[in-house]
Structure 1
Amino acid sequence: MNSRAATSDGKATASASASPFVHEGIAYGCDYNPEQWGPDVWAEDVRLMREAGVDLVAINIFGWSHLEPRPGEYDFATLDTIIELLHANGIRVNLGTGTSSPPPWLTTLHPEILPVTDDGTTRFPGGRQAWCPSSAVFREHALALVEQVAKRYGHHPAIALWHVSNELGCHNALCYCDDTAAAFRLWLQARYGTIDALNAAWGTSFWSQRYGQWAEILTPRLTLSSQNPGQVLDFHRFSSAELLDYYRLEAAVLRRHSDVAVTTNFMVTAHIRNLDYWSWAGDMDIVANDHYLDHRLADPATELAFAADLTRGLAQGEPWLLMEQAAGAVNWQPHNLAKAPGEMTRNSLAHVARGADGICFFQWRASLQGSEKFHSALVPHAGTDTVLWREVVALGATLDRLAEVTGSRVVADAALIFSWESWWAGDGESRPSHAVRYLDQVHAAYTALHDLGVTVDIVSPDADLSGYRLVVAPNLYLVSDAQAENLRSYVAAGGHALITFFSGIVDEDDRVRTGGYPGAFREILGITVEEFSPLLPGHLLALDSGAAASLWSERLRVDTAEVFASYLDGPLPGIPAITRNRHERGTAWYVATALEAGALRDLVRTVAQEARVTAVGPERIATPERTDAPERTATTQRSGSIEVVRRVGATHSYLFIINHGHGDVELAAAGHELVTDEPVGRIVRVPAGAVRVIREDPAS
């Protein structure tokens, strides 16, 4: 069996799609690990699933050692029983291929499949994903298992979805072993063609790094000094492509034996950055994501909204599936906070509001042993006489009442450009300030839009921007000529853009664009930056607009732009900090510093108003004491505790109102409220911590 596809450069078009994933209403599901329990518990589990309304269950995610206890010997008796039990009770199966972690016999027989870290040391079994993505031996054994699973269950009526591996690249995305080095060289040859082209791309004239033949190239293991940025960037590209290549191999086996939809679970979240999902999404029959609140962040709920919007962007606006979330606490953060009553429901419906047509959890029943024994589950250790279980059952009933929302789409007239390549390259070792991090700046821009109630599509630098009134490009450090032209032509055609500092600096080879920063965007911005002037953490700047800023400043001169604000103090007093430029039919704004949250929100409000961006809901919020408050301007600052999103279907639109705060709110709306199944005449009251979903009257 061929263990390497011809598309290992990651540039191939998406593989042929199977039938799309179809589910009646909003799927309500979970990961189920029956191998951790006995048959007496299985029967009880299925009874409780029916009570809760669970109708999609992921199984066999970590099943390899049970299905193939010895090399080439397969035992499907337990899996057969589980599938038949679920099917008999009307519960559909999201069937894992079982390949996410190899069994001990495989790593014992073939220790060469184990991953190697950048310090050259091997990582051993005992956890999960103890395998190298480039290992031909691993691929051979894994694909043999997939073949057996697909042949046995490919036409079983219970199977609703194929689940390839699990969270590909969560732990092993970057392997530095000799097998990986050989695969990396093949990928580089396919990308560059000649060794001279590679030397030019990597700038190997620096520090005597010029290569004479492909065999000299290694993976970027740890060095005594800083590493070659071009090599590191390409290794990230290769590693993402290598795991996509592996996904395609599993998917091809499944599609030979089944016409059921195939996917895997993405990890669009704040702490996973190694896979460029823009290049992956086209291979998914439905885009699926895992998301867990990260309490290491200042605002986990807004990061959830960002992740959901990005997942919808990966799905090209189509409905998508939340494959995993937590019912309560996780087990892998320094401080694993439990969710307050109602928070699980708010989190779930926030994903639905932003395009998810399925809500699933890890996991069904809390484990008694292993690393995740303190990870929450739909059935907690304390059992069903619990607040959590009652909320689980209530959520199932709520999702049933929202069934008609299925298939509707979120409509946005603002977009935020997000680039994994800018994340990789912009956060490299040798950059002007390690206090400036790409994702921080992306989250800051998104939060400003989110707080103003502006619904945002998150798009790639290559996306068609023509349908948006406003495009925001935060810290877009790396752009190709084509991507730069994409944004330039959008502005020239009448679009409004807001670009923040450290954008347009390098091309796709991480080569600086000369003539002044921000090289790729100087023309549309009408400015030239002569020099970066980063600030030490904790140092604040004052602007003559009254705004405060930190982290970064630039020696900037205006060419055709007008000055909106300048520095009052710091290293560059009197130098422009915020500019606005007319370019052909459009307008481009530039922010040369890291504005404090309130100042950034105020600026985004100004830019959005000029672009005639429409906010959904917040401007219509009325206090309980005054329900006749007039509508405000489209970008008036929203309450940070209220989230309002609209999904639009063929016959109706649906207004989601999520109250994260501690007080009741009222909002102008008319139609029928689906959570409580009550009519809404003119004003809907949303209690503290609650969610309301209004099927809107056509005139609302």
Structure 2
Amino acid sequence: MIIYGADYNPEQWSKDVWLEDMTLMKECKVNMVNLNIFGWALLEPSEGVYDFSMLDEMMDLLYENKISVDLATATAAQPAWLSMKYEDVLPKDKHMNTVWHGSRQTYCPNSSHYRLRAKLLVEAIVKRYHKHPALKMWHVNNEYSDHTSICYCDTCAEKFRVWLKGKYSLEEVNERWGTAFWSQRYYSFSHIIPPRHTAADPNPGLVLDYKRFMSESTYELFLMEYDIIKAYTPDMTVTSNFMGNDNKPLDYYKWAKKMDLVSWDSYPDPLDSRAYMKNALTHDLMRSYKKQAFVLMEQAPDQVNWRSKNPNKEPNEMILYSMQALAHGGKGVMFFQWRQSLKGAEKFHSGMVPHNGTETKTYREVKALGHILSSMKEDDFKASVAIYFDYDNWWALEYEPGPSADMKYMDIVRDYYAYFYDNNIPVDFVFNGETLEDYDYVLVPNAYMLHDEGVFKDYVKKGGQLIMGAFSGIVDESDTVFSKGYMSSLSDVFGIKVLGYHVLKETKSNLLGHYSWKDEVKVLTADLLFDDDVLITKNSTGHGNAYYIGGRFDDYSKVLDEIIKIKGYDSDEGVSVRVGKKYVYLLNFTGLHKSLDFEGINYKLQPYGYKIIHL
């Protein structure tokens, strides 16, 4: 069964509205709601005093109406009394200014008082509801690091020193960070502070390790809640909703190893002409973390409220994007939120039940979608291409100052991914330490930080086709430039020597397209596939081949046409073909009528329309 529903916030409504909601949810075939995401202030009105009366009533009401609950732990927004009573709770920015209470997610992840009160709250919730028949899933916190991704307070500084001591000696810190530069050498761990505001650029090794530390600090919060939940409900699914592929602060791959189910929140930009492709990439990324089906935990039924300009969705566009989730391995389609708020910062964010009720386009579409999904099941997909993804590399590459602020990791990944999306070739993502041998092709868009050399070498030796993009093999895991030269540890695999790089003053073009960067490459044993200012090389080694793309193109279609020998499905721009084991999905993300030939049959697609073919 496909999960279908939304965040439900009954605390915003009177009890007569609750009863109406039950009727409408059943009418829309809603089978699950996310409950209690922002309930802390009502559950604990003062320290250690709990009031579960409203939540008790709602859990019972949902069960009576055969609607399952994904019960949240309510720790995403602490009550005002907690923020005001304990000064370590509120985070500080890099200028050491306090980030004040008054919105959400305004807590320091290392605050002992936040951690204690969150622990006690979660224990109280889990003890009370772990046997409730409505409970089907647990929802830890909400959108970790979306608003407060980093804190620089004294508590974090002390915890950071402890974290460093657990990994390195003081001499190793000085060596890894290169503190001989700018007289930064440390003679005591007590002298090390977070990368707060400084007169010039902070040490890049310090910045990188602090990003790792903050990701792990936030992960500790998740583990604390996860362990409490599992102590009472060891067999129940636990999730926490991830953000989109531009959410940089957390290493989601490490999180997903522990998480029972990956879920994420999707809000494609309606003003971006390629939003559907970027959204598809994130679906594939989320599926790939565990190589399992994911849940689309949030999307907007119509408008959002937080961009500078918030157009409505076109007719059927919401249903189309919901089908895209299933077409990339989703097992659930949910929304923020069920009923559109009348007050607060998100009152103009759409809901499944809009301000103007059930006579609206939005409600008609969410009702129609519920009936469609009620007859569908989750699907499975097989990919022969993998894109290598690495959070450490992302963090390190985008430290500035660097060669070019235009070398953005996700932009590079997206530009390569677009080739496979446009050719309707399925893609998985793989991560540091994972096996690669299940894939015919492995593409590494950028490996500025290179620390998987052995895996890459073994893959090519056994017959794999490895493709690596420009400005790779520059630094090791401590962000130290390789002393033997760029790409030195993989020089024999690629049959080249990278002598340098060139940031072009202006974009140039050749037969392969427009490019803004080129590596200076010396060919050793490789064959030249292309040589017109930018070099594309191929080196046969073992049973496989290693390709190096020595430039940063804005479109890699002609480049990859020279390398990729997999046949996808032909379709017009904006039309996607996804072939699973149960269904074929034909998706039209344009406002035009489209026709598509698939397996000898011509299909007509309405603007923002789709077809599902049963296999």
TM range (shorter): over 0.9
Partner of 1:294: 269
Distance in 2 (CA, whole Å) between partners of 1:295 and 1:211 is 49
Partner of 1:227: 202
Q: Give the Å deviation of 1:695.
A: 1.7
The answer to whether the 8 A contact 2:300-2:351 is kept is: yes
Q: Give the Å deviation of 1:614.
A: 4.2
What SS does the corresponding residue of 1:112 show, helix, strand or coil?
A: coil
The answer to whether the 8 A contact 2:512-2:559 is kept is: no
Partner of 1:52: 28
Distance in 1 (CA, whole Å) between partners of 2:392 and 2:441 is 22
Distance in 2 (CA, whole Å) between partners of 1:45 and 1:64 is 22
What SS does the corresponding residue of 1:113 show, helix, strand or coil?
A: coil
Q: Give the Å deviation of 1:115.
A: 0.4
The answer to whether the 8 A contact 1:302-1:447 is kept is: yes
Distance in 1 (CA, whole Å) between partners of 2:608 and 2:369 is 14
* Cα distance change, pair 339–296 in 1 and its aligned pair in 2 (3 A): closer
Which is worse superposed, 25-34 or 289-298? Answer: 289-298
Partner of 2:47: 71
What SS does the corresponding residue of 2:529 show, helix, strand or coil?
A: strand
Partner of 1:591: 549
Output the amino acid matched with 1:239.
M
The answer to whether the 8 A contact 1:269-1:292 is kept is: no
Distance in 1 (CA, whole Å) between partners of 2:466 and 2:407 is 22
The answer to whether the 8 A contact 1:413-1:614 is kept is: no
Partner of 1:694: 613
Q: Give the Å deviation of 1:547.
A: 2.3
Please state if 1:603 is matched with 2:570.
no
Distance in 2 (CA, whole Å) between partners of 1:337 and 1:515 is 53
Please state if 1:341 is matched with 2:296.
no
Partner of 1:553: 518
Q: Give the Å deviation of 1:112.
A: 2.1
Output the amino acid matched with 2:576.
E
Distance in 2 (CA, whole Å) between partners of 1:592 and 1:369 is 53
The answer to whether the 8 A contact 1:435-1:551 is kept is: no
Please state if 1:581 is matched with 2:550.
no
Q: Give the Å deviation of 1:37.
A: 0.7
What SS does the corresponding residue of 1:245 show, helix, strand or coil?
A: helix
1:665 aligned to which of 595, 611, 614: 595
Deviation per residue, 1:51-83 (Å, 9 max, x gap) = 011111001000000011111111111111111
Distance in 1 (CA, whole Å) between partners of 2:150 and 2:488 is 31
Which is worse superposed, 49-58 or 166-175? Answer: 166-175
Partner of 1:426: 397
* Cα distance change, pair 36–664 in 1 and its aligned pair in 2 (3 A): same
Partner of 2:572: 639
The answer to whether the 8 A contact 1:647-1:654 is kept is: yes
Output the amino acid matched with 1:174.
I
Partner of 2:114: 138
Distance in 1 (CA, whole Å) between partners of 2:147 and 2:488 is 36
Which is worse superposed, 550-559 or 448-457? Answer: 550-559
Q: Give the Å deviation of 1:297.
A: 4.6
Partner of 1:247: 222
Counterparts of 1:107-506 in structure 2, within 5 Å, are 107-192=83-168, 194-259=169-234, 260-270=236-246, 272-295=247-270, 297-315=272-290, 317-403=291-377, 406=378, 408-480=379-451, 483-506=452-475
1:564 aligned to which of 508, 515, 529: 529
Partner of 2:584: 655
The answer to whether the 8 A contact 2:88-2:112 is kept is: no
Distance in 2 (CA, whole Å) between partners of 1:123 and 1:459 is 37
What SS does the corresponding residue of 1:323 show, helix, strand or coil?
A: strand
* Cα distance change, pair 639–463 in 1 and its aligned pair in 2 (3 A): farther
What fraction of aligned residue pairs are identical, expressed as a percent? 37
What SS does the corresponding residue of 1:224 show, helix, strand or coil?
A: coil
Q: Give the Å deviation of 1:163.
A: 0.6
What SS does the corresponding residue of 2:267 show, helix, strand or coil?
A: coil
* Cα distance change, pair 94–68 in 1 and its aligned pair in 2 (3 A): same
Distance in 1 (CA, whole Å) between partners of 2:2 and 2:237 is 17
Distance in 1 (CA, whole Å) between partners of 2:549 and 2:211 is 29
Distance in 2 (CA, whole Å) between partners of 1:338 and 1:562 is 52
Distance in 1 (CA, whole Å) between partners of 2:17 and 2:61 is 12
What 5-or-longer segments of structure 1 have no aligned partner? 1-24, 568-574, 620-637, 671-681
Distance in 2 (CA, whole Å) between partners of 1:41 and 1:202 is 59
Distance in 2 (CA, whole Å) between partners of 1:443 and 1:542 is 20
TM-score (norm 2): 0.97
Which is worse superposed, 361-370 or 331-340? Answer: 331-340
Q: Give the Å deviation of 1:298.
A: 4.8
Deviation per residue, 1:541-581 (Å, 9 max, x gap) = 233xx1232221222211111222233xxxxxxx4522222
Distance in 2 (CA, whole Å) between partners of 1:416 and 1:280 is 19
Distance in 2 (CA, whole Å) between partners of 1:555 and 1:243 is 41
The answer to whether the 8 A contact 2:300-2:336 is kept is: yes
Deviation per residue, 1:526-554 (Å, 9 max, x gap) = 11121211013xx22233xx123222122
Output the amino acid matched with 1:528.
K
* Cα distance change, pair 144–596 in 1 and its aligned pair in 2 (3 A): closer
Deviation per residue, 1:162-184 (Å, 9 max, x gap) = 11111111112211001111111
Q: Give the Å deviation of 1:474.
A: 0.6
Q: Give the Å deviation of 1:660.
A: 1.7
The answer to whether the 8 A contact 2:284-2:427 is kept is: yes
Distance in 1 (CA, whole Å) between partners of 2:575 and 2:240 is 32
The answer to whether the 8 A contact 2:270-2:313 is kept is: no
Distance in 1 (CA, whole Å) between partners of 2:580 and 2:480 is 42
What SS does the corresponding residue of 2:207 show, helix, strand or coil?
A: helix
Q: Give the Å deviation of 1:461.
A: 2.9
What SS does the corresponding residue of 1:254 show, helix, strand or coil?
A: helix
What SS does the corresponding residue of 2:406 show, helix, strand or coil?
A: coil
Deviation per residue, 1:308-352 (Å, 9 max, x gap) = 00000112x211111111112212222222211111111111111
The answer to whether the 8 A contact 1:496-1:586 is kept is: yes
The answer to whether the 8 A contact 1:227-1:429 is kept is: no
Output the amino acid matched with 1:579.
T
Output the amino acid matched with 2:605.
V
The answer to whether the 8 A contact 1:102-1:129 is kept is: yes
What SS does the corresponding residue of 2:305 show, helix, strand or coil?
A: coil
Distance in 2 (CA, whole Å) between partners of 1:318 and 1:280 is 14
Distance in 1 (CA, whole Å) between partners of 2:130 and 2:407 is 49
Deviation per residue, 1:215-256 (Å, 9 max, x gap) = 111111111111111111111111111111111111111122
Distance in 2 (CA, whole Å) between partners of 1:525 and 1:298 is 36
Deviation per residue, 1:173-226 (Å, 9 max, x gap) = 21100111111111111122x111121111111111111121111111111111
Output the amino acid matched with 2:154.
D
What 5-or-longer segments of structure 2 have no aligned partner? none
TM-score (norm 1): 0.85
Deviation per residue, 1:259-303 (Å, 9 max, x gap) = 322111111332x11000111111111111112113565521101
Output the amino acid matched with 1:560.
T
Output the amino acid matched with 1:426.
L
